Amino acid sequence: MKTLVCRQYQSPKELSVIDTAEPVIADGQILVQVRAVGLNYVDGLLVQGRYQMKVPTPFTPGGEISGEVVSIGKGVTEFKIGDPVLANVGIGGLAEYVSVYAKQALIIPKGLNFPVAATLSQSYATALFSLRERGRLTAGEKLLVLGAGGGVGLAACDVGHALGAEVIAAASSEAKLQAARLAGADMLVNYSDSDLKTSVRQLTAGGVDLVFDPVGGDYTEPALRTLKYNGRLLVIGFASGSIASIPVNQVLLRNRQVVGVDWGAWSMAHLDDNRLLMQEILNWIAEGKLHPPHPNQCTLADAGQNMQALLDRQVVGKTAVVF
């Protein structure tokens, strides 16, 4: 089978496709013929050895997969041959076949195609976990989403809208902002040509209740300053490439809060709870409450180049490798 391999920590563009043996499934596992794999910012960090958790080389990147069940291990009763499934496997996804523990997989609802299914788990689980569980977002509150044109940003706009918030999308280009509007944003701020704090305060007549920040860097402090009384800043990640240092007096003022969000660690420590979270997301999609966008698509051979584009923040939305 064709597999993308990281032989040593390297630029994503240097990754190579090789032939490897199909995996042998263990008890409690299913074998999935992969139809699509979601690419994520974290994949680009992992292959360069820049992520906080280093994966020993050689390894195959790719955490989000979708495909069809082609073999079932002993003890698995919830799936049958031919079932369409999605799973978050952490690493190893960029291959034609992947072995998956049954508890990691979920049935794809009717009407959801493989590329969309492969690109929603990390972004939508992060968004729902962040906004509802960590941010305590309630209907009628004002939500500011930074990096609103990226995969997790678009998911935050969609989930925020579904939770009844008034969504202000902030991004660096008009193309990204228009994608955010389609995802449910009510107001738009282009922070490449305007002051973020001033623009948001003017649009919202005083500020926001919650900030969703996957960008970091120079945008975190002005976003913090947009918060109203009892406002909360969610620290999701650092797509800008740098970690912000903030003046803590701005946290003290107006009784603001800064809240860390690590959905990945939580999901690994709370497998059953995360499965319920993901099933809720799939139910909301089936009900028309959430609207995950169709991703950009590429081949396995072009996966590394597209990973680099994610790192360079050149991508609107998500990208799926399609087999």
- CB atoms under 10 Å from CB of 143, counted, come to 27
Nearest to 180 by CA among 293, 307, 310: 293
Of all residues in the chain, the percent with pLDDT exceeding 70 is: 100
Predicted TM-score of the model (pTM): 0.94
Each residue of 170-213: pLDDT tens digit? 999 999 999 999 999 999 999 989 999 999 999 999 999 999 99
> The tokens of 2 are what?
């064709």
> The tokens of 310 are what?
């994610």
Region 303-316: mean pLDDT is 93
pLDDT score at 66: 98
Each residue of 255-289: pLDDT tens digit? 999 999 999 999 989 999 999 999 999 999 999 99
pLDDT score at 222: 97
Region 11-37: mean pLDDT is 96
The per-residue pLDDT of the chain, averaged, comes to 96
Q: Is the pLDDT of residue 53 over 90?
A: no
pLDDT score at 227: 98
